[in-house]
Each structure stands twice: as C-alpha cells, then as structure tokens.
Structure 1
C-alpha cells in the first residue's frame, strides 16, 4: 500500500504526457487510424477471393460454380471451376468494383461482366446462346 501513491502519480504523469503527445499529432489518437480503416475497406470490397456463383437459365452442369480471383504483380487472374473443370479466363480487367473477363466453354467464348459490392457479385455472362444473369457470394 505504501507504493500505491507512487504508482498512482507515475500513472498520472504518463497519462498527462500521452495526452500532450496526442494533441501534437492529431489523428493518431484513434484506436483505428484512417489508413487501417481504408485498408480494411479495400480488402473487404476487393474482388480478390473465392466466389460461389449461380447462373440462371443455363444447363444444369453450368448453373453453379466457383470463381477464384487473384492478383499477382498488378495482374489479375480468374479461374472458373464448373462442371468438374477448371478454366483459365482471358482478357481479365478489374476497374474499381467491376470485373470483366472471357472464358471458353465447349469451344464458345463467354464474356462475363460483374460488379462487386461488399461480399456479393452480380452480372451477366454473354455467349452465342444469349445473355444470362450471374450472381454470387464471397466464400
């Protein structure tokens, strides 16, 4: 109990010093700085990841699958897993929340346009057979 007073005053001293430092460097007193918040938002809103998707009005074997979107050295890559096959997409373009790519299914080119919003994707797959609605969720 004898040292309690010293501990109390030492704690008070450190708290008051910390407060003056926070006053000198505004914005650094937050528990979560703007930079970290922006980084978390960027990762959360990023198209990078594994997406389970469904496509309406197509044959059953192509009605569901998985998209794997990665980024290596500033280049995005897309793998499409459907009907027990893994296909590599070409012409991959990512711009903010939009993802566009092409993939060849049974010899026919399918152009896919997606919009990412949080952990959901929505878009269209266009082929010679028509345009089909695609939606999915981040896994």
Structure 2
C-alpha cells in the first residue's frame, strides 16, 4: 500500500511540475511577443503600372511615390527616362497629380486598394485606364 501511495505522490508532484513548467512557458511566450504596427500609408512605394491605348513608350512604367516633410513626391519612371509629377495631392487612398508629356499636361487620378491601384489619366487625347500593383522587395 505504501508503494502505491508513494507512486501516487510522485505522479502528483510530476504533474504539478509539468503544469507549472507549461504555464511558465506559456507566460514567457506572451511576455516575449512584440506587438507593433507599421504606420499605414497606402500610397507610398514603388508601383508597376500599365496604361491602355497609349503609345508603347508610355504604356508601362514604374511610379515611385514617397513622402518627405509631409509632402508627397511622385516620379514616373519610363523606359527612356523619368518625369517628375507636379501638383501631387493625396486624400485617403486617392492620389492625384499632373505630368508633362511631350509638352502636354496629363492629369492622373489613382485609387489605391492594398497592393493594387487603378484609375485614369486625362489629356487632350482622351482618358486612358491605368492599372498597377505594388512592387515587393526582393
């Protein structure tokens, strides 16, 4: 009988020790978790884009959108050079700007939704649909 009681005591102690170890391991994990949030600025970054029904050299490129001193800067990278945008405005997830292409002003309005953007450009030649996606770091 003493043998069974002794085994039972050892079993109870072992169970308690395992329970304490498991509880402290769980507590340690909770303490080691780092909770942080990255400020959400939906529009900044590098965006690959395409434009429909325009000359080939303007049909695709990369928009570089950054923010310096609370002002947004847009640079349009084309196959044969870059164009700096003017009159850049951002409200919520909508960005508007103008670029000068071959002496003509082109107004651009883009709606950003996560890693995708869509909108249109307007010039004396008409309105043209734009689609884009955020470029991911390699």
Normalising to structure 1: TM-score of the pair?
0.73
Q: Which runs of 4+ in 1 moved over 2 A?
A: 7-15
Aligned counterparts of 1:13 and 1:77: Cα–Cα separation in 2: 51
1:96 to partner: Cα distance? 1.1
Structure 1 unmatched runs, 5+ = 19-27
Match of 1:54 among 36, 50, 57: 50
Aligned to 2:116: 120
Instruction: Kindly indicate whether residue 45 of structure 2 is the aligned counterpart of residue 73 of structure 1.
Output: no
In our comparison, the structure showing a higher alpha carbon Rg is 2
1:83 to partner: Cα distance? 3.5
Aligned to 1:109: 105
Structure 2 unmatched runs, 5+ = 1-13
Q: String of CA shifts for 1:68-121, please: whole Å, max 9, x gaps.
A: 000011010000011411110000001111000000000000000000001001
Aligned counterparts of 1:66 and 1:73: Cα–Cα separation in 2: 23
Normalising to structure 2: TM-score of the pair?
0.73
User: How many residue pairs were aligned?
Assistant: 120
Aligned counterparts of 1:109 and 1:93: Cα–Cα separation in 2: 16
